[in-house]
Amino acid sequence: MIKDEPIQDLPSGVAEALLLGLQQDTLVSTRMPAVQASAGGFIGDKHFGVTHPSDSRTPYYQRGSMIFNDRQLSIVSVEDLNEVASLMALPKIEAEWLGANVLTSGIAQLSRLSPGTRLFFSGGVVLYVTHSNNPCSGPGKIIQEHFPEREGLTALFIKLAMHHRGVVAVVDMPGEIKQGETIRVRHEERYTYREEV
């Protein structure tokens, strides 16, 4: 259960779409009317799991070592997708092309939410932001496939989507999320680490 608290000081948004990665051979995700959030992510999503093999993002571990899955879910915003599409001079970029799990609207600068931020969905689920999500070639290649008349879109996406690619998160409070739920954003007070000289 989540404690009742005043929410007027908390930014809010809307879950415009919920998506699952259902196919192992493509990054593209599929829109769903509702999803079940559990300790390992969204049930049925190909990234589901409390642990996963280490990869190029964690070079300090031997490749393939089983580590905590702190990238269970990918969250993007309508605002960021529109911004990137505009910067790339494209008519649109869809959330599913990026393999996203949640598409939000109304949360200002979603991609700059700090690790430790919690997203409270009106149905009771809470997601915990772990990292920003840097752009890579996978979504860029899919965007290129949708606009074959344009050259160089993969590299352009990597360049222009920086700080507009959304965030990754894990499930903090499990339950069901339905499309259209409202989202409250809770920023925790953070301190900047400085090593004393």
What's the pLDDT tens digit per position in 34-88?
A: 999 999 999 999 999 999 888 888 888 999 899 889 999 999 999 999 999 999 9
Domains of the chain in start order, with CATH, are 12-186 (2.40.33.20)
Neighbour count for residue 196 (Cβ, 10 Å):
3
pTM of the entire predicted model? 0.90
